[in-house]
Amino acid sequence: MDESTAIGLASKAVEVARECGAESSEASVSIARRLHAEARENVVARLEGSTGKSLLLRVFVNGRKATLSTSDLTLEGVRDAVRRAVAQAEFVASDEFAGLPDETAADVTELQLCDPAIADRDGVEKVGEALKLEGLIRAADARVVNSSGSHYTDAIAVTALANSQGFAAGYSWTRAGRSTAPVALDGTVKRIAHYGTAARHLRDLESLELVAQIAVRRAVDLFGARKPPTMRVPVIFERDVAATILDDVFSAISSANVAAGNSWLSGRLGSKVGSDLVNIIDDGRLPGGLGTAPFDGEGVPTRRTTVFEHGVLRTFLYDTYYARKLGAASTGNSTGAGVGPSNFHLEGSETSFDQLIASTPRGVLVVDTIGFATEHASGIYSRGARGFFIENGELAYPIDEFTVAGQYAEMLAGIDAVASDLRFDSAVVSPSFRVADMTVSGN
């Protein structure tokens, strides 16, 4: 299905909603063709190909909102979904903040979201990538005895949105990824690591060789890891771990959590929270970014938003509903079902990762964390971790079975160095950074 067909289908759903009694409505259509190949040893362990089709409909009747989705995109299927949504709205409480956005995108800007080369590739070539990646990790080091799989994935898709205020637009996008998870045997201990790369364009993916090299190094470099003593030291978070911290920060600046009183940043707009190095941006217009789109899930134009400026919290991120509830304006961060990130990132510096380590006389480098606790309300950070002890500006020995803990506010305020290794391979990313003083709990 091309863009014009998808836009036509969304517009038809809006027309039917009006006929069924909806005062206003919005319909989004998503069509995505996906492929996933997984290799283990020298065989293809999984090969999946699918085409997903969905229509998400929001209707408003007398201040009441109902939402419904369907994968039946036939005209009769759409009519049935619309009728049910309008009927369900009668049983929903009225909400003064519910409704379509006041502003929608005037045009669809070209943002380099689609790579025709992904669609043009032969399927055998795609599967061959997974097999080659699996072979590379096993050939890289004899201590790699197994893997949790080597993968190639891609998606070729169209997104369209229409509403009863006259907005109707769509765009095409692609995504491709490579990843692997080698298992290395350290005596009786299995060291499992993971590394991957993702991008809109094939040319922006890291090579198979580099993905394999980094993944294997992450596994074997932890051989002989020991439990460190309990101490307070500077802690460097490697970029993939740093991104998980930024993801937690995003949850705290999401207006949905702020409105519910579930954010440690509530009431701190305009306050100095982080160090001068904390410049956090949400950029829905970054060309080729995995979090980029010309408009958000409500048709509001995306934009570049400075969230933290030299440590000062400038804004939360909003969709239309929570913007109205909190007396603000949408920042173009609607997913259609909530508030989401758009290339949310900490700005990097000119300091390399190696220079960051060399400038740390004594400390800890965290390369992996364990646990999924979310502490949006209290602002407490505590994770099990693996990594390296740093001595005299060098990685002295690997460590594991320790916990890194602190308060998010103290961590942001304590960031005293940021690296240059920022890579936009997800909707939330970060360069590696150092927090000047944290508690490391070990022996």
- The phi and psi torsions of 20 (rounded to 5 degrees) equal -85, 0
Please state, in angstroms and as integers, the Cα–Cα distance from residue 340 to each residue in 102, 197, 302, 336, 386, following that order: 19, 21, 12, 9, 29
Please state, in angstroms and as integers, the Cα–Cα distance from residue 391 to each residue in 153, 358, 378, 385, 398, following that order: 40, 9, 33, 18, 12
Residue 1, pLDDT > 70, answer: no
pLDDT reported for residue 372: 64
pLDDT reported for residue 25: 93
What tens digit of pLDDT does each residue of 141-151 get? 999 999 999 99
Other residues' Cβ atoms within 10 Å of the Cβ of residue 411 = 26
Tokens describing residue 334: 């609607």
pLDDT reported for residue 374: 59
Residue 246, pLDDT > 90, answer: yes
Supply the mean pLDDT for the chain: 93
- Angle of helix 123-140 relative to helix 208-220, nearest 10 degrees, comes to 30
- Determine whether 116 is exposed, middle or buried from the number of CB atoms within 10 Å of its CB (0-12, 13-18, 19+): exposed
Residue 281, pLDDT > 70, answer: yes
What tens digit of pLDDT does each residue of 96-127 get? 898 999 888 887 888 999 999 999 999 899 99
Q: Domain limits of the chain?
A: 3-220, 225-443
Residue 290, pLDDT > 90, answer: yes
pLDDT reported for residue 423: 95
State the CATH architecture for 3-220: 2-Layer Sandwich (3.30)
235 vs 360: CA distance, rounded Å: 9
**Residues above pLDDT 90, as percent of the chain:** 83
**Residues above pLDDT 70, as percent of the chain:** 99
Residues 6+ apart with CB under 8 A from 436: 234, 414, 415, 416
What tens digit of pLDDT does each residue of 165-205 get? 999 999 999 999 999 999 999 988 899 999 999 999 999 99
What tens digit of pLDDT does each residue of 330-356 get? 999 999 889 999 999 999 999 999 999
8 vs 242: CA distance, rounded Å: 42
Bridge partners, residue 429, by sequence:
345
Q: Would you mind telling me the total number of residues written for the chain in this entry?
A: 443
Bridge partners, residue 158, by sequence:
31, 172
Residue 373, pLDDT > 60, answer: no
Q: Where are the alpha helices (DSSP H) in 276-369?
A: 320-326, 353-358
Residue 395, pLDDT > 80, answer: yes
Please state, in angstroms and as integers, the Cα–Cα distance from residue 190 to each residue in 182, 210, 398, 443, following that order: 10, 22, 15, 22
